[in-house]
Amino acid sequence: MKTLFIPETFTPKGPLADNLARLAFELASRTSMLDESDQHKMISFGVPDWKAVVGKDYSPVKQAAIKQGLIKANEKYSNLPDKSFPKSVQLTSKHRNSDLKAYELKRKQPASKRFRIDRNDHVGGWLAKNLERLSFAESFDPESLVDYSKSLRSRNAIRLAFAKIRNEQLFASRCKYGRFHSNVTNMSKSLRAKLRSDDHTLVEVDIKNSQPFLIPQVIRDYIWREGKKGKREETKKKDRREQEVKSKHSVLEDELKNFHNLVVDGNFYELFESESDRNSIKEMVFTYIFSKDNLKTVSCIQKTLQKQFPEICNVIAQIKREDHRVFAHCLQKLESEIVIEGACRALMAREPEMPIVTVHDSILTTEPFVEIVSEELQRAFEDRCGVVPAMTKTDYHTANEMTLVQKKRGKSQTVMVPPSGVA
């Protein structure tokens, strides 16, 4: 490790300067991953974190960081089973709200890997191991992607993500919903386009409109679970309401099929075209999916969906009733089940030496493996959802994006469309 990015407002001093720079770099990285509304909050930073970043003898570094105005530290912590939290720190305000500058370490630091993957999670371990193959071309300068018209957070995120890969500071973990998180999952698409695996450029195979695509299956899973509960609770109750339930399920199933057809055919967002431009519509649809119902900011989206798919909206409202986050968690869990446990597990069995990187609903690999990645993604989605999704293939070497409209397993129609988000 040689070059880091630290706040422009901070100049580390004294014999611990390199360790202070490492700490500034790490905290700037973690701050950049927070939502802008959360960047004022303290960051959990316990003893294992201090040792991983600056070494076993971290106490003098901590004191120097406080004395030089780099951080604020909260020494409170709890080991109680129901209220467990570590000590925490944060960059002081002026350093949190600063652009970044390059800092040259006096001594090279060895590569580090923070892979929090269960030893029995073979797929997760395989994906984490593949991160070690990533690099950027020696001539690549991240400043070429920095857009000063964009927020400070997005500018700094590019520099920090680049430095993590260049300096082999790698991390990977699986959350409780099964998602695989790594250096790449938080990386901007423009920077991701510059990644190389074993010095080869990458191709990204992506599911089009994946979150809307998964909604019908999440609803079917919910109905199935609720149906099982109902059978257990009322095994002897059979009355005229039974026919009404069957009728409702029939209407719901018709809506789910129509919903899937709109998504697969690429016409889903056209439902809302009169409301705003496509990017704004996508953002509002995601807000509707992941937030509480009846938000004023997405009322137009909710009204349109309620008119077109009333039964679907009613079930979504039921799922969100106790906690609106449950619906988003169901989508994430289903996505990871299909992509990680379905497609990636099959790819690991077929081609254990292939280069592979995942970004939730998409898989990056090199050109020779694009066909089998598309095939296994298609198979995994069809096996779980009963419908084949449309997919896009983005070749980052040529900056061409193709839409792969899957009609039947093993067959596809390829249509060239303009590149998006590739610098």
Give 223-228's long-range contacts (Cβ < 8 A, gap of 24+). 223/249, 223/252, 223/315
Per the prediction, the chain carries an average pLDDT of: 86
Per-residue pLDDT, averaged over 49-71, amounts to: 95
Split at pLDDT 50, 70, 90, the class of 20 is very high
Q: How many CB atoms lie within 10 A of CB 270?
A: 12
Residues 217 and 316 in one domain: yes
For the chain, what is the total number of helices (H) and then of strands (E)? Answer: 15, 19
Place of tokens 């120097």: 64
pLDDT mean over 195-214 = 94
* Residue 97: CATH number of its domain: 1.10.10
Q: What is the pLDDT of residue 162?
A: 95
Residue 116 lies in a domain: no
- Write the pLDDT tens digit of every residue in 243-293: 444 455 788 999 999 999 999 888 888 888 766 677 788 888 888 888 877
**pLDDT tens by residue, 287-310:** 888 887 767 767 788 888 999 999
- Report the C-alpha gap between 410 and 384 in whole angstroms: 17
Range of the domain at 301: 210-329
Highest mean pLDDT among 19-28, 285-294, 395-404: 19-28
- 100 lies in the same domain as 24: yes
pLDDT at 120 over 80: yes
Residue 125 forms part of a structural domain: no
For 334-375, the pLDDT digits (tens) are: 999 999 999 999 999 999 999 999 999 999 999 999 999 999
For residue 335, which of 297, 381, 269 has the smallest C-alpha distance? 381
Report if residue 144 sits inside a domain: no
pLDDT number for residue 107 = 80
Evaluate if residue 117 carries a pLDDT over 50: yes
CA dist 17 → 44, 77, 167, 308, 369 (Å): 23, 28, 18, 61, 45
| 228 belongs to a structural domain | yes
Q: In terms of domains, do 364 and 293 share one?
A: no
User: 325 with 364, same domain?
Assistant: no
Give residue 402's pLDDT. Answer: 60
pLDDT, average across residues 400-414: 46
* pLDDT of 408: 44
Average pLDDT over residues 93-104: 94
- In this prediction, residue 102 carries a pLDDT of 93
Judge whether 180 lies within some domain: no
Amino acid in the structure at residue 135: S
pLDDT above 60 (res 423) = no
Report, as an integer, the average pLDDT of 202-218.
Answer: 93
Given a cut of 90, is residue 225 above it in pLDDT? no
Digit-coded pLDDT (tens) for 135-173:
999 999 999 998 887 888 889 999 999 999 999 999 999
What is the model's pLDDT at position 95?
A: 96
Instruction: Give the pLDDT band (50/70/90) at residue 227.
Output: confident
Tokens of 145: 């992607």
Quick check: helix, strand or coil at residue 338?
helix
Verify that 314 and 410 share a domain, yes or no. no
Task: Calculate the alpha carbon distances from 242 to 236, 248, 249, 256, 318 in Å.
Answer: 12, 10, 11, 21, 20
Check whether residue 220 and residue 320 sit in a common domain.
yes
Task: Name the burial class of residue 109, with classes exposed (0-12), middle (13-18) and buried (19+) by CB atoms within 10 angstroms of its CB.
Answer: middle
Q: What pLDDT is attached to residue 285?
A: 85
Asked whether residue 83 is assigned to any structural domain, the reply reads yes
Q: How far apart are CA 115 and CA 295, in angstroms?
A: 38
pLDDT over 60 at 239, yes or no: no
- The answer to whether residues 324 and 292 touch, using CB atoms and an 8 Å cutoff, is yes
Question: Which of 85, 106, 127 delimits the end of a domain?
Answer: 106
Q: Is residue 313 located within the same domain as residue 396?
A: no
DSSP codes, 23-43: HHHHHHHHHHTS-GGGTTS-E
pLDDT of residue 228: 63
Asked if the structure places residue 200 within a domain, the reply is: no
Same domain, residue pair 323 and 215: yes
How does residue 412 score in pLDDT terms, banded at 50, 70 and 90?
Answer: very low
Q: What's the pLDDT score for residue 69?
A: 97
* The predicted structure's pLDDT at residue 248: 59
- Structural domain tally of the chain? 3
Residue 146 CB contacts under 8 Å (≥ 6 apart), including other chains: 155, 158, 159
pTM of the model: 0.81
Q: What's the confidence (pLDDT) of residue 417?
A: 33
More confident of the two residues 248 and 28: 28
Determine, yes or no, domain membership for 315: yes
- Does residue 413 have a pLDDT over 60? no
Which of 67-76, 188-197, 215-224, 240-249 shows the lowest per-residue confidence on average (mean pLDDT)? Answer: 240-249
Q: What is the pLDDT of residue 404?
A: 54
